[in-house]
Structure 1
Amino acid sequence: MDMLPVDRTNAECWQLGTDQITVLTTCAQTSGQIFAVEIRMPPGGGPPVLHRHDPSEVYYVLEGEFTFYVGGEGGVTRHRAGVGDVVPLDGGTPHTVRNESDADAVAFAVHTPGAVMEGFTRAAAVLGAPGARPTMEEVLALADAHGIEMLGPVPAQL
C-alpha cells in the first residue's frame, strides 16, 4: 500500500480553538471507517462542553496529561490519563476531554466510523479559521449538522 506508513511531513494540520489537529488517516483512505488524528492541546485546551456522537473513539496519550469527563448512569466522572494510557469511549457516551495541566498534552485519537468526526473537524477548522469569530449559534448549528449533540458544561462539583 502506498499510504503506509503515514507521511507526517505532508499531513494536514488544523487549528480548532487552541488545539492543533494533525490528520494521520482520513475516511477516504479507509473506506469511511477511520479518522485518526494527533491532538496537541495546550494548558486549558479542549472542548468546552460535554457532548456525544455516534462514532466511538479511542485516545492514546503520547505526552502530558489529559482529563476526561465521562457521563454514565451514576452521573459524570473525572478521569486523568497520562503517557501510555488508553481511553476508549463508546459511541453515544457523553464526554469531553481537556488539558488541565500546566504543559502541552498530545494524544493519538481514532474515531470509527470516521465520517462524522472528520466532517465536523474539517468544517470546524474552516469556521474557526484565524481571524474568524464564529457565533455560538454557528457552532451549535455546525455540531447539529454533523450529528454531535452539545450537552452543556461539566458539573462544577467535579
Structure 2
Amino acid sequence: MDKLPVDIATAETIMLGPDETVILASCADTNDDLFAVEIRMQPGGGPPVMHSHEPSEIYFVREGVFSIYVGEGEDVRRIHAAAGDVVPLRGGIPHTVRNEGDRVAVAHVVHTPGRPMESFVREVGAMTVDGAPAMDDVLRVAMQNGITMLGPIPEMT
C-alpha cells in the first residue's frame, strides 16, 4: 500500500477521446473488487450511445453537471447530476453519461466488479493514442468485456 494516499496529480491518466480517466484504484490494487477513477469530461463528451454492463457503478459529481440517461423499461429518464450529487447505477441497467454543459464536468466513479470496466478503458485508451479508433474495434473490445452497446439515446417525450 505504498501508493496511499493517491496523488491525483501524478496518477495514471488514460484518454478516451477528449475525456480523461485518472486511475484512483486499479483492479490490481483492490484484488479485482473495484475500479475507481476520476473522469474529466469535456463539454459534449461522454459515450454517445446507451449501453449496459454487469458491473454496478456509482458517480460522485465534483464539478459541473452530468446528464445521466437511465433506461427504465420502454422509457429513458435523464438525471441532471451536479456537484455534490451521488448517482448509483445497478449493473445491467441501460444507461449513458454525457456532459451537455459548457464547462468541464468532473466525477469520481467506482465500478464493481472492476475488471470488465478497467479492461475496456485500458484497451480503448491504447487504441485512441493515434486518433479515433475504428468503431468496429471499440465494439469488439466492448463485447469482450461484457459491455453491450444499445444504440443512440432515444428521443425523450
TM-score, length-normalised on structure 1?
0.95
Equivalent position of 1:109 in the other structure: 109
Equivalent position of 1:50 in the other structure: 50
* Deviation for aligned residue 1:73: 2.2
The residue matched to 1:103 in structure 2 has which SS?
A: coil
Equivalent position of 2:155 in the other structure: 156
Equivalent position of 1:34 in the other structure: 34
The residue matched to 1:123 in structure 2 has which SS?
A: helix
Q: Provide the identity percentage.
A: 54
2:142 equivalent to 1:143: yes
**Structure 2 vs 1, CA of residues 114 and 44 (structure 1 numbering), >3 Å: closer, same or farther?**
same
Moved over 6 A (4+): none
Give the distance between the partners of 1:120 and 1:76, measured in 2 at CA: 25
Give the CA RMSD over aligned residues: 1.2
Give the distance between the partners of 2:8 and 2:33, measured in 1 at CA: 20
The residue matched to 1:100 in structure 2 has which SS?
A: coil
Number of corresponding residues: 157
Give the distance between the partners of 1:50 and 1:96, measured in 2 at CA: 5
Per-residue CA deviations over 1:23-48 (Å, capped at 9, x if unaligned) read 00001011000100000001100001
The residue matched to 1:121 in structure 2 has which SS?
A: helix
The residue matched to 2:43 in structure 1 has which SS?
A: coil
Query: Structure 1: which amino acid aligns with 2:25?
Result: T
Query: Structure 2: which amino acid aligns with 1:151?
Result: L
Structure 1 unaligned regions, length at least 5: none
Equivalent position of 2:12 in the other structure: 12
Give the distance between the partners of 2:65 and 2:89, measured in 1 at CA: 17
Asked if 1 retains the 8 angstrom alpha-carbon contact of 2:76 and 2:156, the reply is: no
Matches within 5 A, 1:43-82: 43-82=43-82
Give the distance between the partners of 2:43 and 2:7, measured in 1 at CA: 28
Per-residue CA deviations over 1:2-57 (Å, capped at 9, x if unaligned) read 33211324310011012111100001011000100000001100001000000000
Matches within 5 A, 1:85-104: 85-104=85-104
* Deviation for aligned residue 1:149: 0.2
Give the distance between the partners of 1:64 and 1:8, measured in 2 at CA: 18
Give the distance between the partners of 1:57 and 1:94, measured in 2 at CA: 12
